[in-house]
């Protein structure tokens, strides 16, 4: 009986470790070209811009990042990488241009949105909405 318990515990431990090692870290550096990072947001943050950005967020982003940006969306568990918590200071401290670039270009599990959201003003509205998700 004791040997079966040890075997079961060992199998469980190996299984947990294999899952842990197959997940990519969510803090993998995501370099943004300096030109893009320095690009200023041409869309003034306003109630309308934030409302428009929130509508686009709910349509395109919330399924992975969650309604409030915590990375807890309904599709998050299906991804190879855990979506970032957008409310963290490490994300909020990024420039608007860097956020715009990442939304537009995407990488890995994060898709490019330049075709799904073809109007650049709309992506800037999403950036303005993201600024409201601070902790």
* Domain residue spans of the chain: 34-133
At 69-112, the pLDDT tens digits run 999 999 999 999 999 999 999 999 999 999 999 999 999 999 99
The topology (CATH level 3) of 34-133 is: Cytochrome Bc1 Complex; Chain D, domain 2 (1.10.760)
At 10-56, the pLDDT tens digits run 444 444 444 444 444 456 899 999 999 999 999 999 999 999 999 99
Concatenated DSSP letters of the chain = -HHHHHHHHHHHHHHHHHHHHHSBPTT------HHHHT----SPP-HHHHHHHHHHHHHHTHHHH-TTSSS--TTGGGSSBPPP-TTSHHHHTS-HHHHHHHHHH-BTTB---TTTS--HHHHHHHHHHHGGG--
Q: pTM for the whole thing? A: 0.80
pLDDT in the model for residue 135:
79
Residues 6+ apart with CB under 8 A from 128: 41, 43, 45, 46, 49, 50, 53
Q: Which two tokens stand for residue 114?
A: 């330049």
At 100-135, the pLDDT tens digits run 999 999 999 999 999 999 999 999 999 999 999 987
- Shortest CA distance to 105 belongs to which of 31, 23, 49? 31
End-to-end CA distance of the chain: 50
């Amino acid at each position: 009986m004791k040997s079966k318990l040890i075997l079961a515990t060992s199998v469980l431990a190996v299984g947990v470790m294999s899952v842990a090692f197959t997940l990519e870290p969510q803090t993998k550096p995501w370099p943004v070209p300096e030109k893009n990072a320095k690009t200023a947001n041409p869309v003034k943050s306003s109630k309308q811009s934030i409302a428009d950005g929130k509508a686009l967020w709910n349509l395109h982003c919330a399924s992975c990042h969650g309604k409030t940006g915590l990375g807890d969306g309904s599709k998050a568990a299906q991804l190879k990488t855990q979506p970032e918590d957008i409310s963290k200071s490490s994300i909020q401290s990024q420039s608007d241009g860097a956020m715009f670039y990442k939304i537009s270009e995407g990488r890995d599990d994060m898709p490019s949105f330049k075709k799904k959201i073809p109007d650049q003003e709309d992506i800037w509205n999403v950036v303005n909405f993201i600024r409201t998700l601070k902790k």
